[in-house]
Amino acid sequence: MTEARFPPTPTCHLPNEYKSYGKDLDDIIGKAFGENGKLMTYKDDKDALLGPFPILIASKQIGTQYMALNKSFGALEGLPPDAREVAILTIGARYQAAFELYAHSSLAVNSNLLTQTQVDLISSGKKPEDLNEKCSVTYDAVQHLANVPGPLSKELFDRCVQAFGKEGTVLLAHYAGTYAYTCILLNVADASVPKD
């Protein structure tokens, strides 16, 4: 078994200067996702946070700003939860970030936002034919942004504005960019999928 690049560490075992930050992360994640294992597994059997959280703890100052940015997204309107998950999964598929695909596949299916078939197709880089219009334009726009150099086409921009308004379109771009960043962190950490 390969040693973790950023080993998950229970908050109680973090250095003193990191304990408060570790507890804050633990609280934020618990509030966002509920009981560990219900929507997805985000802690191991030693109660240590998994996924991007060990690398965020290792880079506490930047990790704090990252979490503040992500928390602010949840308060913004303009992009429905199912479209958010389509954006996240589309980016996860582009970067093949194992934990990202695991976590948001579980979240999307267990929250009844997307079907397992839709999640499987998006995770493999394919567009499901049965997406609603907002999810469809989300997939098309994020797929373009992640894979085609240069600006978003006028046609895709106009479809986004029609579906979400300009503010929602900007929020979609923030989701795509932030989750691309998240996937890069996960791939640097080589964050694995939890063993259930």
pLDDT band at 196 (very low <50, low <70, confident <90, very high): low
Tell me the longest C-alpha to C-alpha distance in the chain: 52
Rounded distance between C-alpha atoms, residue 94 and residue 96, angstroms: 6
For residue 101, what pLDDT is reported? 97
Tell me the per-residue pLDDT of 53-98, one tens digit each, with 9 for 90 and over. Answer: 999 999 889 999 998 898 888 778 899 999 999 999 999 999 999 9
Helix (H, G, I), strand (E, B) or coil at 60: helix
CA distance readout (Å), 190 to 49, 52, 182, 184: 15, 9, 12, 9
Average pLDDT over residues 164-168: 96
pLDDT band at 153 (very low <50, low <70, confident <90, very high): very high
Helix (H, G, I), strand (E, B) or coil at 31: helix
Q: What architecture (CATH level 2) is domain 81-189? A: Up-down Bundle (1.20)
Provide the whole-model pTM. 0.93
Average pLDDT over residues 131-150: 98
Q: Where in the chain is the domain with CATH 1.20.1290.10?
A: 81-189
- Which parts of the chain fold into alpha helices (H)? 16-33, 53-58, 60-75, 81-95, 98-110, 116-123, 133-147, 154-189
Tell me the per-residue pLDDT of 14-33, one tens digit each, with 9 for 90 and over. Answer: 999 989 989 999 988 888 88
For residue 45, what pLDDT is reported? 92
pLDDT band at 1 (very low <50, low <70, confident <90, very high): low
For residue 33, what pLDDT is reported? 85
The three-point CA angle 120-118-102 to 5° equals 40
